[in-house]
Structure 1
Amino acid sequence: MSEAAPLRPTRWALGGPRNGGYADRFAQLIAEGADVVGEARLADALVPRGATILDAGSGMGRIGAHLRALGHRVTAAEPDPALVEQSRRTYPDLPVLPLEILALTPDALTAAGAPTSYDLVVCVGNVLTFVAEGTEVAVLERLGSLLAPGGRILVGFHLQQGPATARVYPPEEFAADVEAAGLVVQQRFGGYDLRPVDDLYAVTILARP
């Protein structure tokens, strides 16, 4: 059997040292007692108690750890080694798979002792604007393939003023990619507090038809 082709480098990986401020900024905010779990509050409202949740692109673990503390069964996935190390140090009870989204195959999840289907997939914090160029539809397809019946995907990213190494992802292009991935938009908001749609940030809830 031939080996799978290597995955293309993500925009995050290509950003290199320019990404360094992310972890430091959130570590400082947490140390100061700032509210850094707005995404998790919305995620928690979308599922029943004890739901199975995948935090795809979990960063330093702040969202997955909060959801786990609320009693959900959370699997985090983060490919950046420095963020994986920070996550495991800061939130030792949160299981983190050192994998990017396209590597989250059923075989890989099973080998790691993680579920292969989820009530909710959380993909926030600009994750979709950092995936490898041209892989957006494939990433959305993979996330959709991991949904349990009735499961949903919570997505959030900047439309303007996002991170310097991320792409700009216009709403109409995102909507086309969602459709191409076989998913549907259930709801869209301008923030995790459910404010109306604006042109700065997009929060979208996706599902399979």
Structure 2
Amino acid sequence: MSEPTALPPTRWALGGPRNGGYGDRFAQLIAEGADVVGEARLADTLVPRGAAILDAGSGMGRIGAHLRALGHRVTAAEPDPTLVEQSRRTYPDLPVLPLEILALTPDALATAAAPPSYDLVVCVGNVLTFVAEGTEVAVLERLGSLLAPGGRILVGFHLQQGPSTARVYAPDEFLADVDAAGLVVQHRFGGYDLRPVDDLYSVAILSRA
């Protein structure tokens, strides 16, 4: 049996120590009582009660944990070991798979006793701008393959002023990649509060074509 092909390093992994402030910043915001779950409020409106939700690139767990507290069946996936440890420490009831998106294969999900498909995949917090160079279509395809019938994907990322180690993902490039991945855009917004499309931030709701 041949060895599995190694996945290319993501932009997040290549960022190394420059990523270090992410988890600390959100831990501080949470300690101060800041509102850090705007993405989760929108996600909650997209599904019925008790939905199966995948938080892909879950970071320190803030979105997945909030959705779980609302009664959804949430599986989180996060490849950064430091963030996985922070998530498990901060939100011990949130199951976290230490896997990047392209590693979320049917076999990997079955091994982890995770659902094979989801009513909603949440991929927010600039996750798409941190995937490995040239894998954007493959990542979107993988997310689409994890959708249950009628399922949708919620994505969000900065168009400007994003993290220094992330790519700039222009709207026309993103839309072309969505189409190449066999997905369609149901809605586009400029933020999780559903403000109109702008040139600072992109929020999109996707489904399979």
Instruction: Name the TM tier (shorter chain).
Output: over 0.9
Measure the CA separation in 2 of the matches of 1:160 and 1:32: 27
- The one-letter amino acid paired with 2:175 is A
What's 2:56 paired with? 56
Cα offsets for 1:95-146 (capped at 9, x unmatched): 0000000000000000000001000000000000000000000000000000
Q: Distance in 2 between matches of 1:207 and 1:155?
A: 11
Quote the residue 2:172 is aligned against: 172
**For the residues of structure 2 that align with 1:207 and 1:2, how far apart are their CA atoms?**
34
Unaligned runs of 5+ in 2: none
RMSD, matched Cα = 0.3
Where in structure 2 are the equivalents of 1:1-209 lying within 5 Å? Answer: 1-209=1-209
Which SS does the other structure have where 2:122 is aligned?
strand
Residue 162 (structure 1) shift: 0.2
Distance 1:3 1:146 in 2: 24
Q: Secondary structure of the residue that 2:151 maps to in structure 1?
A: strand
Q: TM-score, normalised by structure 1?
A: 1.00
Letter in 1 for 2:71: G
Question: Percent identity of the aligned residues?
Answer: 89
Q: Shift of residue 196 of structure 1?
A: 0.3
Q: In 1, distance between residues paired with 2:97 and 2:148?
A: 20
Task: Name the CA distance, whole Å, in 1 between partners of 2:116 and 2:105.
Answer: 8
TM-score (norm 2): 1.00
Question: AA paired with 1:88?
Answer: R
Q: Distance in 2 between matches of 1:177 and 1:138?
A: 9
1:93 is displaced (CA, Å) by 0.1
Structure 1 residue 61, shift from structure 2 partner? 0.1
Q: How far apart, in 2, do the equivalents of 1:136 and 1:67 lie? A: 26
Give, in whole Å, the separation in 2 of the partners of 1:116 and 1:15: 31
Structure 1: any 5+ residue segments left out of the alignment? none
Amino acid at match of 1:35: D
User: Aligned pairs, how many?
Assistant: 209
* Dislocated runs of 4+, deviation >3 Å: none
